[in-house]
Structure 1
Amino acid sequence: MSMRKTLMFAALLILPGMTAQAARPPTTPAPAILPDTTQPTPPQRLYRHLWADDKGVSHITTCPVHDFFLKSMSPPAGPQWQDPMAPQMATIMMTVQPAHWNGTWHPDPKPQWIIPLQGRWYVRAMDGTRVEMGPGDILLGEDQAVRPMAKGPFRGKKGHDAGNVGDGPVTLMVIQSEAAPVTNQPCRYN
């Protein structure tokens, strides 16, 4: 074996052990990556989106809201988590659905945010998805582009079915937007 080949062979046997030693001395541990604890963790919140697909069928999807940032709304008040939407014209109203209210099948009149304040109610989409909501839950109703179902258990129905759960009235905060509805985009506010 030539001298050159012998040295290369010896280097292959010795270097693997040496490279581990040379890369990091045993007395110096690798620095640990720690999370940044100086900034609070933004909250995670959910809303339900009642939306219409391009075939005119309504669906309900659970969506995250996660673009929060800390900012004071009116200094010197302390900062609070915010995730603002684009400015738009809207009508804000409070509604009270009487006990045993039944909304039967209908589309929402406009894109609208619905937040139950008291009581529980349900919404069922044309695809059969049904959700119940109570105080603090949020629904974006955006099923204006629906068409009557051609077949299936909801044949001839369009939009969504809704009603109260239980024996009492349901109080809702409703924010109706003047913005045009958007189809085929579940969770578009996240």
Structure 2
Amino acid sequence: MMPAMMPADATASDAAPQGVYWHNWTDSKGVSHLTRCHFHRYILKSMSKPAGPQWQDRLPPGRTTIISTVQPAHWDGTWHPDPTVQWIIPLRGTWFVEAMDGTRVVMGPGDLSLGEDQMSRRDARGHIGHNAGNVGDGPVTLMVIQTDQAPTIDRPCRFQ
């Protein structure tokens, strides 16, 4: 697992952090891929004065739906595309995502994933989108932030 952000004790005198996320994207042949990406445009400013400044990298605005989900122990998501462009944040437990190209990433609390494989096409093995499931014997709690953004093709790390 890799941390999504710099340590909480970072100060304004430190260099701008780099946030990390996994991007599940689709190429022009309809094959999904997982790429490790970075947020790069951090600006140090207050979120709401008089609160002190914090590093922020704002993504494009839009409508969102926020879902808290608990996948039961041994949950198996099988092969499917994400229903919409969505951010997935594990809060408790460990799960995996496997792209059609065979890349598999295991994620837990502190990791961040952008699911954008809606444009994938079923391959000769019957795979489409991604496979996902729990790792271990316990449930997995996720925060899912679904967006109204249109899915892209051939744009890994689209938020650089």
TM-score between both structures, scaled by the size of structure 2: 0.91
Spell out the pairing of 1:117-128 with structure 2 (5 A cutoff). 117-128=91-102
> Structure 2: which amino acid aligns with 1:186?
P
- Equivalent position of 1:86 in the other structure: 60
Two-structure CA RMSD over aligned residues (Å): 1.0
Identity %: 64
**Partners in 2 of 1:106 and 1:40 — Cα distance?**
41
Query: How far did 1:109 drift?
Result: 0.4
Counterpart mapping for 1:44-59 below 5 A? 44-59=18-33
Measure how far apart 1:39 and its partner are: 4.3
Determine which of 144, 148, 159 is the counterpart of 1:174.
Answer: 144
Q: Specify which structure has the bigger relative contact order, considering alpha-carbon pairs within 8 angstroms and separated by 6 or more residues.
A: 2
Where in structure 2 are the equivalents of 1:94-133 lying within 5 Å? Answer: 94-133=68-107
Unaligned runs of 5+ in 1: 1-37
Q: Distance in 2 between matches of 1:129 and 1:42?
A: 30
Match for residue 47 of structure 2?
A: 73
Q: Distance in 1 between matches of 2:53 and 2:114?
A: 26
Cα distance in 2, alignment partners of residues 86 and 52 from structure 1: 20
Residue equivalent to 1:61: 35
Amino acid at match of 2:91: L
Distance 1:156 1:168 in 2: 28
Q: Are residues 1:160 and 2:134 paired?
A: no
One-letter amino acid matched to 2:38? P
Q: Which protein has the bigger helix share? A: 1
Shift of 1:179: 1.4
Unpaired stretches in structure 2, ≥5 consecutive residues: 1-11
Quote the residue 2:5 is aligned against.
Answer: none
Given residue 93 of structure 2, which amino acid in structure 1 is its aligned partner? G
Separation of aligned partners in 2, 1:91 and 1:177:
7
Residue 122 of structure 2 aligns with an amino acid whose one-letter code is: P
- CA drift of 1:40 comes to 2.6
Q: Does 1:138 align with 2:108?
A: no
Q: Residue 7 of structure 2 aligns with which residue?
A: none
Scaled by the length of structure 1, the TM-score of the pair is 0.77
